[in-house]
């Protein structure tokens, strides 16, 4: 599973000077001198915003190529819906959805940076073997088998906070004494667990898990105090795209009509210290970040 021949990956939107901060993802070392845009590729029939739109491999690969053309730096392939109330699927069913997509993307002449969005060790292992360079685990590498996969490869890792282990109940009655402190503690502990088995800390990124067992106010507080998450010292990923809390703010039930609100949340996150934003609407987000970068220069 180990890959060799590492290269430093610099993106066109990057500033001329390097910050020295990197994220090590398989055979690529990503310089974090400009925010990464992670395009969401749901190969599912039931995701909350785009379920069924890219449920076959050919459609999914076409959509990935379109997102890359629009400015995506990473394609995050997911085969299991993690929306509140979802029931989950078997590893075999998930693999049947995602593996053909990962294989086709990895076989391209100039393959994109591929992330596999999964909580299942067998899926993560197979997709890294097929060419994925990132494992994005919404359950925060709680499963010892996932820790084993992480230790046995050199992929980049996204450690996300989720309240409890169950998608079906995580939004029933989420409670915290201090949501930011508790999320930061969880992320620090899970990162330490990975490092304890030999994972290079440069491979680890953290995600506060917007919408995963959080109320509207919890989500807003996490975004307001994002620098406290960044203070852990790992790259920070924020995934707020089209989520229910944006719908609550905008009084908008249709996730596809939350694009401007999602871009606003991504822009705020980047200005507050996020290194990676995970989004459905790549072109709009990339434009916003380009304007922010120009103003900042």
Which active-site residues does the annotation give? Answer: 243, 278
Kindly state the tokens that stand for 50: 């785009």
Q: Name the burial class of residue 69, with classes exposed (0-12), middle (13-18) and buried (19+) by CB atoms within 10 angstroms of its CB.
A: exposed
Q: Which residue's structure tokens are 């990132």? A: 134
Alpha-carbon dihedral 255, 260, 261, 264, rounded to 10 degrees: 140
Kindly state the tokens that stand for 223: 């975004």
Q: In what order do the strands lie in the sheet with 7-9?
A: 7-9, 28-31, 22-25
In angstroms, the CA 162 to CA 139 distance is 6
Q: In what order do the strands lie in the sheet with 276-279?
A: 204-207, 156-160, 134-137, 113-117, 74-78, 36-42, 276-279, 237-238
Beta bridge partners of 9: 30
């Amino acid at each position: 599973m180990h890959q060799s021949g590492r290269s430093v990956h610099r993106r066109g939107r990057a500033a001329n000077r390097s910050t020295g901060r990197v994220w090590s993802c398989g055979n690529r070392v990503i310089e974090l001198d400009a925010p990464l845009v992670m395009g969401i590729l749901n190969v599912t029939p039931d995701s909350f915003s785009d379920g069924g739109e890219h449920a076959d491999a050919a459609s999914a690969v076409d959509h990935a190529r379109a997102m890359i053309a629009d400015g995506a730096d990473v394609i995050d392939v997911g085969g299991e819906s993690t929306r509140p109330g979802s029931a989950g699927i078997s590893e075999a069913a998930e693999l049947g959805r995602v593996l053909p997509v990962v294989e086709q993307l990895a076989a391209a002449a100039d393959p994109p940076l591929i992330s596999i969005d999964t909580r299942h060790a067998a899926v993560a292992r197979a997709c890294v073997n097929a060419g994925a360079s990132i494992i994005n685990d919404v359950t925060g590498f709680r499963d010892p088998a996932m820790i084993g996969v992480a230790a046995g490869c050199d992929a980049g890792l996204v450690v996300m906070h989720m309240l409890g282990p169950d998608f079906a109940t995580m939004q029933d009655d989420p409670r915290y004494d201090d949501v930011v402190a508790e999320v930061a503690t969880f992320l620090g502990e899970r990162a330490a667990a990975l490092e304890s088995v030999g994972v290079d800390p440069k491979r680890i990124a953290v995600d506060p898990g917007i919408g995963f067992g959080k109320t509207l106010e919890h989500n807003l507080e996490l975004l307001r105090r994002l620098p406290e998450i960044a203070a852990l010292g790992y790259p920070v990923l924020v995934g707020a795209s089209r989520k229910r809390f944006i719908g609550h703010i905008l009084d908008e039930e249709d996730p596809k009509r939350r694009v401007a609100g999602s871009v606003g949340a991504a822009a705020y996150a980047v200005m507050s210290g996020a290194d990676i934003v995970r989004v459905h609407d790549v072109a709009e987000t990339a434009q916003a970040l380009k304007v922010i970068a120009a103003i900042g220069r």
